[in-house]
Structure 1
Amino acid sequence: MAIRMPGIPLDVPNSAKWRSRMSEQAVQKINTWIGDGTLSRTAGEAIMQWLDDPACAAFAGAILTLIDAGNTGELEEAFGTSIAFGTGGMRSPMGPGPNRFNTITVGRAAQGLARYVSGMGDGDEPAGDEPSGEGPDGRDRRAGGSGPDGWHNRGSGGRAGASVVVAWDTRHNSETFAKETARVLATNGIPVLIFDGYRSTPALSFAVRELGAAAGVVISASHNPPGDNGFKVYGPDGGQVVAPRDEAITRGMRRAGEIRRIPFDEGVERGLIRKIDPQVDARYVSVLADLSLGGARDVRVVYTPLHGVGMTSVAKALVQLGYRDVHYVDEQVAPDGAFPTLEGGIANPEKPAAFQLGIQKAAETEADLVLASDPDADRIGCALPLPDRGWEAAPEDLVLNGHQIGALLCHYILSRKQAAGTLPSRGLFCKTAVTSDLAALIARSCGLEVVDDLPVGFKHVGAEIERMPEGTTFVFGTEESHGYLADARIRDKEAATGILLAEYAAWLKRDNRTLRDELDDIYRAYGYFREVQRSVALPGAEGARRIEDIMAALRAAPPEHIGGRAVCRMIDRLSGLARDLRTGTAHPVASERVNILVFTLSEAGHTRVIVRPSGTEPTIKYYVSASSVDMGGTRISIDNLAASMLTEMIDLCEGM
């Protein structure tokens, strides 16, 4: 299958004669650019290596075209550094170069994973050409074994030994990259279990556990732009890998050496690559159906998968649960990696613009709510009509933010379980540090154990589930970026959790109430919360240095006032210290060491500003939460406070 690289011409000349002529000119240009500082030596040397390496021959035409066009910016970005694992795994624009997503970097990632799964030491060489199950020490890797941290045998059943499950979404080239991953793993003696078509990320998580696999890989860049793709790795518990496993895989990538691949069809014929039994899909959908907490179904739902995989998970669960009044956004049902019906091709249910067609459908059908999932169906968004205008309003006024959805889901799950007497006596609630405290307050009021300061990324919720002491039951996890989970048989955020919003709406509809009414009641009970956030893009090496400078300046001279209010504390999660800005005293805080700064403007800490660099994009992110226990006359003032805090903090950082 041909690799489509969005933004790179498909008709690039690539004949041997043309490459030879262009290569001579390219060397001269690269040396000139290095000499005058236009291009770093690191990038120049990497370009030469890629042009000289026969394994990279397929990319020579695209590289030489960039050189001929004098596109030193893209060349520096693509070749000046190497792609690595971040908050959401390995993500990057597709294209040639070590810092781009392509068959070479995917092969290196798969090779690094193979080294780790097989339990090879960092100094060992990869397996040879023969794709047998026997490693260099004569041990059969397919039989399980005891890799680092018990990597091989911590799945739920051990039936597949040291196998790796591979899935992909509907993005351009995802299937090609998934098969490339399978080829490399198989050549290294790692049996591969692969789906027969695109699937959701949480389906991959479930399958790893269900099949007792050693690891899983999903090819997806979630809601990133159409030109991006990604490589996410899951451990035997079904959760995304966290440190130190992600670091070990990155080291394996750097030391991968020659990437060896057998043809995909040969791997299938030899039994090294096997299709996953359809019964795994059936059991996964059954788990989604188990999320239901009651039989209320009298609700009209509009659902859109935004051209992604959601029809294989969310839609199937809606059918199995007996929702009969479901309307699909026809234009967005078909899988399409260009996401053509969405502004800028951004299929992100966090963005109100993604709901345009869904809201139109809701107005036509007089629906009660709209649900939208992202391309790999791990995030869910929701839009609700207004009491006075219905669906005749701007998407920004109709779409709930991730904090509000999390609070509603948490309240519904806990209240229904309490009423049924099924809420565990030792239940666990988890959220990330940048997520509103509202859901945590609800969880505490119901007697749950609360972990509310996890690093950004739902993988940390999965890791917390794995660390649960015996006798503790996971109940609910949430993150601000529309990630939710209510069943520990899946260890990543699950878009289908949003079906509970439809069920909640149906229960409320019996009493002529709506989800908006219920959200107001939650605010009255726990306090009004307003959250706003913004990401500021600072691309390139210069942008990365700028982000570092901003974080360093904030640590050295934290603001004393934000939005007209005094800052009480600065919590530096990288150093593990909380400093009282009024007294100058500092004390340690128990948290994972991550590059996050928290500025609290209230003793309880519910009003705060959080600043952090993104782990997946060249951006610095600002999160603001403002709250008040009195909802009556303060809603507008709290909204204004949140907006002013955000603006003032960004202005402060941009002036540093």
Structure 2
Amino acid sequence: MIFLKHSNTFKMLERLIQARANGKISDAAYKSAQKWLTDQELLLFRDQVATLIREEQFDELEDAFYTMIPFGTGGRRGTCGVGPNRINTRTIGESAQGLAAYISQFGVAAKQRGVVIAYDTRNNSKQFAEYSAQVLCGNGITTYLFREFRSTPELSFAVRELGTIAGIVISASHNPPSDNGFKVYWEDGGQVVPPHDRAIIAEVNKVNTLQMKDLQEAERQGLFSYVSNEIDQHYIAQVAALSLIPNRSVRLVYSPLHGTGQTSILPVLRLTGFQDLHLVEAQMAPDGNFPNVHDHFPNPELPAASEMAMELAQQVDADVGFTSDPDADRLGVFCKHVDPEGQAQWMLLNGNQVGVLLTDFIGKKLKDQGQLPEKGVVVKTMVTTDMVSEIARDYGLLTVDDLLVGFKYIAEVIRNLPPDQQFIFGAEESLGYLRGDFVRDKDAATAALLLAEMAAELKSQKRSLYDHLNSLYRKYGYFLEMLKNVYVSGAEGTARVARMMEGLRAQPPLSLAGKRVIEVIDRQAGAAIAPETRKTLRPIGGTKGNVLVFVLSEDRHTRVTIRPSGTEPKIKYYGAIRKDVSLDLSFQEFEQLKAETRDALQSYVESLATEAEKRG
């Protein structure tokens, strides 16, 4: 504690005491805010805390101070601001200090191998990256920092290329401008998984003091350096080498949504010879406010984020368009489709549909070229469409398709593959795809290259990506997936989500929208359970996680999955269903089948959401 000789601080403490007495803030928020007003190490934030108190912003004060922003299994992500439940230099510094303490446990060699840091175009990303570097250097850890913003997949590549023991990305991915984050990668280039994630969390929670060193001094001591441009060149060359066909006769539109994609996707497409490429100039400038994106929300999963790109595509009569999120690991895809009546429209493809298209394209080209390995492996998460597995197996590929949500689990499978197996492709429904193993996270640049080639080949056949998707549905059946997000806020929101999950476990619904629940798969318990008796039917392997799957068909293709988000304050419902498609079904009849299937699946998802709300 500092000696309180400033009358303003006394006044703020008195107001804080009064706010607690009047029930405006909790005891936890009071204690934390008091510390941030008076602690010597937190002097930088005193005026911001005082402003919240002076302006009686007690709701914000409560949310910002009632708890510490969790350092989850991948790192920290949240709203920027003052307080322990916000992203700021203190919480970023604590994250770096905890990581440094964990690395130090592995000895001098680990510290010398060091950590590489990248950051995206978000507000304060560069500042947070430099702050992290100062903390690492203060702990005697060799640190490499990208001079300018770079994509998350390039950071993953850099970890492997430089041989560092860990990597850090400063980004909040596709979140709104108010957010930022701190994500940790381990020596294989994948996000941290057990046991490293839990051990790092434990160290972060112990942090009291930050050990820091000026970067110029660290550079003189050989502890700090900037990443060479050769890393950029090697990464772009490796992605370009994944090309499967030479056809480049396709018209493309691309927007990085003010993010880092201009350093990865754009140079890959140019290097590989795609000359008919049109850029959304209004969204090219790096800007953490995302000024020219609808609602300033740079999430390619949302149709509104691709509005300007679609407008340009119409103007130039493009064949396919891409958008990428700020750290360029997710790729949004849309294509032109002409129906049998000659009506052209732009179709935004979801992550499951793109995963299906890429699985088929990669499988077919490798088979045509005689390069399909005897034991090739396709990997997906449990909420990603089962159609990926069906297609992969049709090409004779092995599948790992029951992973928890998060690309880090795909990276873990790649790392643990036996020598006689070869990774072919990985996909997750939230616009994440990976081909090649030199990156161990989803990579929008790789996906853009392969999709551009696929679109070019289909154009030569007078077909679109959407046409080919429909032909795959006729071959394998109509697979449909649906996502519903329910946002929560504050301590009560978090508690309500916990009650929902506990309630669904204790009293699982016996049916959803009139359809019987055959079994409930509880990934936390590692068991499939009979909903009527709650007895275990069989064990379920794999990493444990807070996920429940309500299975509605014997083939398990029809189901609804519920899980709390690991990166945002929300609970997520994933619906999945499959219907047979007759080969002689007309276009109109097929569209009718799609609509009926969508209605059925939506009823199941809404039914589970209602059941969860009852228990919350």
- TM-score normalised by structure 1 residue count: 0.89
Change (3 A) 1:611 1:32: same
Superposed CA offset, 1:220-247 (max 9, x none): 0000110110101110000000122122
SS at match of 1:496: helix
TM superposition shift of 1:64: 0.8
TM superposition shift of 1:581: 3.4
Farther-moved stretch of structure 1 (75-84 vs 606-615): 75-84
CA distance in 2, matches of 1:283, 1:390: 45
Aligned twin of 1:457: 406
Structure 2 residue identity aligned to 1:536: V
Aligned twin of 1:520: 470
CA distance in 2, matches of 1:303, 1:103: 34
CA distance in 2, matches of 1:40, 1:637: 49
CA distance in 2, matches of 1:461, 1:91: 21
SS at match of 2:482: strand
CA distance in 2, matches of 1:204, 1:561: 46
**Contact 1:93/1:227 (8 A) holds in 2:** yes
SS at match of 1:190: coil
TM superposition shift of 1:497: 2.3
Report whether the alignment pairs 1:261 with 2:212. Answer: yes
TM superposition shift of 1:82: 1.1
TM superposition shift of 1:582: 6.2
**Contact 1:371/1:498 (8 A) holds in 2:** no
SS at match of 1:384: strand
Report whether the alignment pairs 1:603 with 2:554. Answer: yes
1:216 aligns with one of 167, 178, 185: 167
CA distance in 1, matches of 2:477, 2:361: 17
SS at match of 2:113: coil
SS at match of 2:156: helix
Superposed CA offset, 1:353-401 (max 9, x none): 10100000000000001101100000001011231499975xxx62111
CA distance in 1, matches of 2:459, 2:255: 22
2:28 aligns with one of 24, 36, 42: 42
Q: How does 1:233-272 map to 2 (within 5 A)?
A: 233-272=184-223
Report whether the alignment pairs 1:467 with 2:426. Answer: no
CA distance in 1, matches of 2:515, 2:206: 51
Aligned twin of 2:363: 414
SS at match of 2:349: coil
TM superposition shift of 1:585: 4.5
Structure 1 residue identity aligned to 2:376: G
TM superposition shift of 1:113: 0.8
Aligned twin of 1:360: 311
Report whether the alignment pairs 1:652 with 2:602. Answer: no
Structure 1 residue identity aligned to 2:462: N
Aligned twin of 1:566: 516
Report whether the alignment pairs 1:297 with 2:257. Answer: no
CA distance in 2, matches of 1:37, 1:640: 46
SS at match of 2:257: coil
CA distance in 2, matches of 1:569, 1:66: 50
**Contact 2:256/2:283 (8 A) holds in 1:** yes
Aligned twin of 2:457: 507
Change (3 A) 1:284 1:411: same
CA distance in 1, matches of 2:512, 2:74: 31
SS at match of 1:299: coil
CA distance in 1, matches of 2:74, 2:431: 14
Report whether the alignment pairs 1:637 with 2:587. Answer: no
2:436 aligns with one of 487, 490, 510: 487
Percent identical among aligned pairs is: 43
Structure 2 residue identity aligned to 1:441: E
Structure 2 gap ranges (5+): none
Report whether the alignment pairs 1:101 with 2:52. Answer: no
Q: How does 1:111-510 map to 2 (within 5 A)?
A: 111-119=97-105, 141=108, 144=109, 161-388=112-339, 398-499=347-448, 500-510=450-460
TM superposition shift of 1:627: 1.2
User: How many corresponding residue pairs?
Assistant: 602
TM superposition shift of 1:347: 0.3
Superposed CA offset, 1:546-601 (max 9, x none): 00111111111212221332111110111111113367642211121100000011
Structure 2 residue identity aligned to 1:309: T
**Contact 2:73/2:192 (8 A) holds in 1:** no
Report whether the alignment pairs 1:554 with 2:513. Answer: no
Superposed CA offset, 1:133-180 (max 9, x none): xxxxxx7x2xx25xxxxxx7xxxxxxxx42110110000000000000
**Contact 1:239/1:459 (8 A) holds in 2:** yes
Structure 2 residue identity aligned to 1:101: I
Question: Which consecutive segments of 4 or more residues in structure 1 shift more than 4 A?
Answer: 389-393, 582-585
Aligned twin of 1:132: none
TM superposition shift of 1:635: 2.0
1:575 aligns with one of 517, 521, 525: 525
**Contact 2:259/2:325 (8 A) holds in 1:** yes
Change (3 A) 1:484 1:390: farther
**Contact 1:165/1:213 (8 A) holds in 2:** yes
Structure 2 residue identity aligned to 1:55: E
Superposed CA offset, 1:87-124 (max 9, x none): 6521011111111111111111111111111216xxxx
Structure 1 gap ranges (5+): 1-15, 121-138, 146-151, 153-160
**Contact 1:302/1:362 (8 A) holds in 2:** yes
CA distance in 2, matches of 1:651, 1:368: 41
- TM-score normalised by structure 2 residue count: 0.95
Superposed CA offset, 1:605-646 (max 9, x none): 111100011111111111111211226453221111122222
Superposed CA offset, 1:420-452 (max 9, x none): 111111111111111111111111222222111
SS at match of 1:216: strand
TM superposition shift of 1:56: 1.7
**Contact 2:248/2:273 (8 A) holds in 1:** yes
